[in-house]
Structure 1
Amino acid sequence: MRGFRYGRYDDGPDPLRAPYDARSALDELGRSVMAGSSPTRALRDLLRRGTRGLTGLDDLVRRIRERGRQLRSRGRLDGTLREARRLLDQAVGQERAALFPDPGDDARLRERELDDLPSDPAAAIRRLADYRWRSPEARETFERLRDLLRREVLDAQFRGMRQAMSGGTPEDLRRVGAMVEALNAMLDADDRGEHTRADFDRFLAEFGDFFPDNPRDLDELVDSLARRSAATQRLLDSLTPEQRAELLELSRQAMREAGLDDVLQRLGERLRARRPDLVWSGGVDVAGEAELGLGDATTAVAELADLAELEEALGQGYAGAHLDDIDVDAVWRTLGRSAAEELERLRELERELRDQGYLSGSRGRLELTPKAVRRIGETALRDVLSASGGRPGGHETRDVGAAGELTGTSRPWRFGDEQPLDAVRTLANAARRGSEDGGRLRLRVEDFEVAETERRDAAAVCLLVDLSYSMVQRGLWGAAKQTAMALHALVSTRFPQDAVQIIGFDDHARVLAPRELAELSLEPVQGTNLHHALLLAGRHLDRHPEFEPVVLVVTDGEPTAHLDDDGLPHFSYPPAPRTTELTLAQVDRMTRRGARLTVFSLADDPRLEEFVSALVARNGGRTVRPDPDRLGSYVVRDLLSRRSRR
């Protein structure tokens, strides 16, 4: 029998991960839209903060910054300098110890030569290059120093070179020189347009052990080397002028001795020319107890540069920003696989919202689809009902009609009927007609019957919502939008035979479709034109004369605007007498239509109280002073109670 082995899955996203629930993300996005954000801005904010079961960009940025703090406290950048000085002092001390017992003149001359060594380590090392060491231990220490400098300088240029150069033999140095020459030649060929993939493959086959990152092509190799070269320069900029000059001279001397000075200088110039967009200057703040070698210090500086670039991409604060700009591989290297998977899931979010039919439009201007608007309305209704502790009820009468509870009777189906089919009577009609085609029943149009239900009276519902700037200033704007969306969802889903119209008003009034209402943005418009809003509401009631009129007004101020005879809005504060006169005239027309107004008064304002009292006295309506945080529940509950009484 064949055997099977199981192990941890480590190649891409978890295939058993539960599918992402775009509806919960849409609910959060919808709440932002209801608060005044555009769909594009709301999605960007959602991606930043994340949602249930999905880490946001802000959390990734926080982890990036934490990683940066760890790197900055990793150690000192001048560790190679300190180690070079220590080894130099150790070699000189060992040589002095060997010379001291010798009473001869040669020993004194050597001691004098050691006394005259320059204080600059680079100059001292250059002077000692031809010195004939008396002490074997001193000679070994000095060679360790020279080998240290060669390996650290090369490791700063090529990450991992320190391990590749562990032997430090002349053959190793010749191979490094051959690699740099081949790389320069490959760049020359690329400039001439003659570079091929086969050239790169041959280069990597011969010198791949120098590049543990396993670059996939020449561009990736150039990018890696250029970033490291830029980090080396920024490391030098982080040192004091004295330290920088000392380290530069030590590095140049080590490379001259190895015969690599010219080829490395040429490579550095080529890398800078190819990636001028990198940050090639400016120090970094790195401090700690440990002494970092030049290669490790360069790695720390390079990682800090990558973190800064990654943080900017994750911040998405620049024009045209998009999640596709973020390097997933860089996130994986920096924060691990789980963070990279979280980023991929964030990238999927917009795609899921589009694929599931909630968003449309271009990347820079997203739009809510009708399906999304319905979902947002249902969510607003659910939030409102949960706040009120209630649930929508019916408003039936016992007359036979188009909706409600089943009466137990049926009638023939007519074109346009939406009542449920009576399947038993429909099949019975076909059976009475007789079977056809070997015992099979064939349904005809005349066989269909529909179940009759109790009739529900229809209502013409008008919700007049104040959208003036005072609502924004008082923090009532979002609650007003939520109330309107919840009411529209309630009527559309529970009472489909009703005719609902949402009218928003500031200096003028306009009828708002659900999508317009959902995407309505904050505007600093002065004026409360209740006159125009009542005028539009009256037209809606006149189009449905046999429907029960329901007019609800949500406002935080007395009328301060009206429509002039030319159709243009006129604003005045304190309100002009003409504004009050025209508004109350529309209230009287509502009274003649049999519409009793319910005014939800949201401000403790004496002038508003005076106006509402006059309105109620003329119309026979009523005033409700709700808690603004529960406005939606008051409005919905008022409609439900009115329909139940009916």
Structure 2
Amino acid sequence: MARGSRYQRYEGGDPLAPPVDLAEALDAIGEDVMAGYSPERAMREYLRRGDADRRGLDDLARRIAERRRDLLDRHDLDGTLREVQELLEKAVLAERGQLARDVEMDDGDRALREMQLDNLPPSPAAAVSELSSYEWSSSEARETFEQIKDLLGRELLEQRFAGMKQALEGATEEDRAAIAAMLADLNELLEKHARGEDTPEDFADFMAEHGDFFPEGPRDVDELIDALAQRAAAAQRMMNSMTPEQRAELMELSQQAFGSPALMDQLSRLDGNLQGLRPGEDWAGSEQFGDGEGLGLGDGTGVLQDIAELDALAEQLQQSYNGARLDDVDLDALARQLGDEAAVDARTLAEIERALRSSGYLQRGSDGQLRLSPKAMRQLGRALLRDAAERLSGRQGARELQAGGGSADATGGTREWAFGDAEPWDLPRTVLNAVRREVASGGRAPGARGVRLEIADVEVVESEQRTQAAVALLVDTSFSMAMDGRWVPMKRTALALHQLISTRFRGDRLELIGFGRLAETLAIEELTGLDAIWQKGTNLHHGLLLAQRHFRRHPGMQPVLLVVTDGEPTAHLETSGDVWFEYPPHPVTLARTVSELDGATRMGAQTTFFRLGEDPGLARFLDALAKRAGGRVIAPELDDLGAAVVGSYLGDRASRSPYGGSGSGGAGETFGRWGGGWGRGGWVG
């Protein structure tokens, strides 16, 4: 069968852009989760911030607010009244000039007219009403006054029908009659629809006769009602926004529009029909506008529609309501208000949100709360391990031992056979080497059968000795770690080491142990989501007890002890199970801690302490512990903690022998910030 093609509307953006990459989003979300945010909140925060390639919701919302403020600053809603006032002053000025120039006019008539003009009420509406029966001497004044009525009529219709204001400029009596007929037919159609008596033919007949008044081209009566109701509601909100005096003046002036009270009756009837058919529109709201460029009644309706759309977008971008999703954002409206680029950014964020929810990175637990899934933990671990590897890229020396024997594992590579090698041959490579050699030497002898092997042709399967290790990573979870900004680096370190062991050294066994006032073993998911708790106590004694239990469970493995801490032990576990806490550290606490470290050392544990902070008391204490255990102390910067722990683990795997108490890498040696390679003293591999 021929493969079909599917086409869809182009939605903007770079058509050659790669699919949405969740790696950056997941890294940012994981960072916030490790800082104590829930996954749901962390995802929301990422969507609000955006990333290096796209704007987030906060930036889009800021631009929406700026556009709304710009509209409010540039326009005010008494623009129509101001225009009426200007036309009125122009008409009166022209009339006064004509009265002064007309020498043939009766003086009494002139005085009466001048007195009438002098005593016009200050209200433009009242002045227009009083002058409606005035007999103008000036033709210019009469034409200007007629412009007021024409303006009001066009403004009133512009509220309800887009484009009507310009279309009716200079309208004839026939044009006005056509408008009156359209309004009458429209009201009849809406009233039939409200009763459920209309038919598609009724709508078709109406559009056939009056379709020129609706350039937006509604396809059915519901689309027609939606368009009219939005503009009518916006017009009502505009009226609500005006002062009572402005509103009264405008309503009084409106009565005189086209000089036809029937027009006002039809418009009032239309408003009533629309409110009944679309009660969900905002008919009672209002907007506040500042001083600025005058805005007509009809134009004000259009601006209010913009403001209503901006308000809806602001709520959608805020995502503060229950069940909020970025799919709720009206991308068409966003493109209208901020341009296509903003809509593309919002669409991409929505795709990221959908992908995060559907890709398995987030899953709901039995309590209904979102959590990072094992898949997400692996992705985060890979990213953190890559970061550690980059920092380790300058390290010199062997990473793993190569040795023969049945316990070695294939690396996937091959190498030339050497005397003493016991690895199996790689037969395809060996035969290929023989064929190449024969071809290069001039070909095979006539009649020869098979391939003649020489010892130089032989390649063996490369393998590496992987001594299994029982690794105990003890991380300080006392409150000082969170208070001093070490909480997230500690978690990143644990996650990177967990990823390395679970993917590269699957034969090793890792135990994560957190020690605060008490110590406890933690799954990587528990440690990643662990919140800081205000508890006094650094119970390294209890942590070492749990580490020895882990070593005893794996008696055939090499014990590796890694301790990350920022404070001296201030708590220990009593034989009763109670916790003893005292600060400064009590001699009994120190003695119990040292005793358990001695127990781990007797089990052959390779020990490394990672000292965080500059506490001189902690430095002296850990130096003494490292010297006693034949281990070492590393004092990395926070950014290098993950690389330090991973590098130490790899170094221990390479040597599988305790470190001495002197020389490079011995007890008490500390490392500053490494930069491109290792710091003072080098690195022991």
Using the size of structure 1 for normalisation, the TM-score is: 0.82
1:382 maps onto 2:386 in alignment: yes
Q: Which position in structure 1 is the counterpart of 2:400?
A: 395
Q: Within the alignment, does 1:259 sit opposite 2:262 as a pair? A: yes
**8 Å contact from structure 1 (residues 529, 559) kept in 2:** yes
| 2:400 and 2:464 in contact (8 A); partners too | no
Partner of 1:466: 476
Instruction: Report the counterpart of residue 156 of structure 2 in structure 1.
Output: 153
Q: Secondary structure of the equivalent of 1:501?
A: strand
CA positional deviation for 1:218: 5.4
Residue 636 of structure 2 corresponds to which residue in structure 1?
626
Q: 2:478 touches 2:517 (CA, 8 Å); kept in 1?
A: yes
CA spacing shift, 1:523–1:307, aligned 2, 3 Å: farther
Shift of 1:282: 4.2
Residue matched to 2:561: 551
Deviates more, 1:600-609 or 1:218-227: 218-227
Distance 1:68 1:485, change over 3 A: same
Shift of residue 391 of structure 1?
6.2
Which position in structure 1 is the counterpart of 2:490? 480
Deviation, structure 1 residue 481? 0.8
Q: Which of 324, 328, 331 in structure 1 is aligned with 2:331?
A: 328
- Counterpart of 2:465 in 1: which secondary structure? strand
Query: Per-residue CA shift, 1:580-618, capped at 9, x if unaligned?
Result: 454334223212211143221213335534643553354
Q: Which residue of 1 aligns with 2:253?
A: 250
Q: Determine the structure 2 residue equivalent to 1:373.
A: 377
Distance 1:201 1:287, change over 3 A: farther
- In 2, the alpha carbon distance for the partners of 1:543 and 1:193 equals 80
How far apart in 1 are the matches of 2:313 and 2:578? 53
Partner of 2:674: none
- In structure 2, relative to structure 1, the CA distance for the partners of 1:214 and 1:47 (3 Å cut) is farther
Match of 2:457 in 1: none
Cα deviations by residue, 1:476-507 (Å, 9 ceiling, x for unpaired): 00110111111122233333332222222333
Contact 2:13 2:341 (8 Å CA) reproduced: no
The residue aligned with 2:80 is: 80
Query: Does the CA contact (< 8 Å) of 2:129 and 2:253 recur in 1?
Result: no
Matched residue, 1:588 = 598
Query: Per the alignment, do residues 577 and 21 of structure 1 end up closer, same or farther by CA in structure 2, a change over 3 Å counting?
Result: same
Contact 2:236 2:283 in 1 (8 A): no
**Aligned partner of 1:62: which letter?**
R
Q: Deviations over 1:174-224 (max 9, x none)?
A: 444444455545554555555666655555555444444445665655554
Aligned to 1:118: 121
Q: Indicate the larger mover: 135-144 or 508-517.
A: 508-517
> Which deviates more from structure 2 when the two are superposed, residues 230-239 or residues 554-563?
230-239
The correspondence of residues 353-372 of structure 1 with structure 2, limited to 5 A, is 353-354=356-357, 356-361=359-364, 365-372=369-376
1:284 aligns with 2:294: no
SS in 2 for 1:399: coil
Gaps of 5+ in 2: 1-8, 418-422, 433-459, 657-685
Equivalent of 2:134 in 131, 134, 143: 131
Deviates more, 1:31-40 or 1:469-478: 31-40
Q: Could you list the per-position Cα deviations for residues 10-62 of structure 1 after superposition, in whole angstroms to 9, with x for gaps in the alignment? A: 66666444322233333333333333333222221221222243332222223
Q: CA deviation at 1:239?
A: 4.4
Deviation of 1:84 after TM superposition, in Å, equals 0.8
Residues 77 and 587 of structure 1, relative CA distance in 2, 3 Å threshold: same
Distance 2:466 2:96 in 1: 111
Structure 1 position 295, deviation (Å): 1.8
TM alignment of 1:414-493, pairs within 5 A: 422=426, 424=428, 451=461, 453-493=463-503
Is 1:516 the counterpart of 2:526? The answer is yes
After superposition, the Cα gap between the structure-2 partners of 1:610 and 1:69, relative to the gap in structure 1 and judged at 3 Å, is: same
After TM superposition, give the deviation of residue 554 of structure 1 in Å. Answer: 0.6
- Compared CA separation, residues 509 and 251, structure 1 to 2 (3 A): farther
The alignment covers a number of residue pairs equal to 608
Larger mean Cα displacement after TM superposition, 472-481 or 117-126: 117-126
Amino acid at match of 1:615: L
TM-score calculated relative to the size of structure 2 = 0.78
The 8 Å contact of residues 164 and 209 in structure 1, kept in 2 or not, is answered as no
- Inter-partner Cα distance in structure 2 for 1:49 and 1:189: 51
Asked whether the equivalents of residues 313 and 325 of structure 1 are also in contact (C-alpha less than 8 Å), the reply is: yes
Cα distance change, pair 157–402 in 1 and its aligned pair in 2 (3 A): same
The one-character-per-residue Cα deviations of 1:419-476 (angstroms, maximum 9, x if unpaired) are 9995639999xxxxxxxxxxxxxxxxxxxxx947232222222211112221110000
**Mapping of 1:297-308 within 5 angstroms?**
297-308=300-311
In the TM superposition, what whole-angstrom CA distance separates every residue of 1:383-414 from its partner, at most 9, and x where no partner exists? 233345546962214232332565778xxxxx
Q: 1:263 to 1:532 in 2, by over 3 A?
A: farther
Change (3 A) 1:456 1:189: same
SS at match of 1:260: helix
What residue in structure 1 maps to residue 665 of structure 2?
Answer: none
Whether 1:294 aligns to 2:300 is: no
Q: Distance in 2 between matches of 1:616 and 1:238?
A: 77
Classify the secondary structure of the residue corresponding to 2:260. helix
Q: 1:574 to 1:268 in 2, by over 3 A?
A: farther
| 1:38 is aligned to 2:42 | no
Structure 1 residue 507 and structure 2 residue 510: aligned?
Answer: no
Check conservation: 2:149, 2:256, Cα contact below 8 A.
no
Q: Which residue of 2 aligns with 1:435?
A: none
The SS at the match of 1:504 is strand
Q: Secondary structure at the match of 2:18?
A: coil
Instruction: Describe the SS at the equivalent of 2:324.
Output: coil
Which secondary structure state, in structure 2, belongs to the residue aligned with residue 18 of structure 1? coil
Matches within 5 A, 1:4-19: 15-19=15-19
SS in 1 for 2:384: helix
Which is further off, 114-123 or 328-337?
A: 114-123
Structure 2 partner of 1:68: 68
Q: Percent identity?
A: 49
Q: Please say if residues 384 and 633 of structure 1, whose CA atoms lie closer than 8 Å, have aligned partners that are also in contact.
A: yes
In the alignment, is the contact (CA less than 8 A) between 1:186 and 1:199 conserved in 2? yes
Instruction: Provide the alpha-carbon RMSD of the alignment.
Output: 3.7
Q: Deviations over 1:116-142 (max 9, x none)?
A: 433322122222323333333222222
How has the CA–CA distance of structure 1 residues 224 and 567 changed in structure 2, closer, same or farther, with 3 Å as cutoff? farther
Q: 1:170, 1:301 → 2: CA distance? A: 31
Q: Could you say which residue in structure 2 is the equivalent of 1:431? A: none
Q: 1:596 to 1:425 in 2, by over 3 A?
A: closer
Note the C-alpha offset of 1:286: 3.2
Q: Note the alpha carbon deviations across 1:283-328, whole angstroms, 9 max, x for none.
A: 423332x332222233223322321321222122344322122112
Relative distance call for 1:202 and 1:588 in structure 2 (3 A) is farther
**Aligned counterpart in structure 2 of residue 542 of structure 1, from 540, 549, 552:** 552
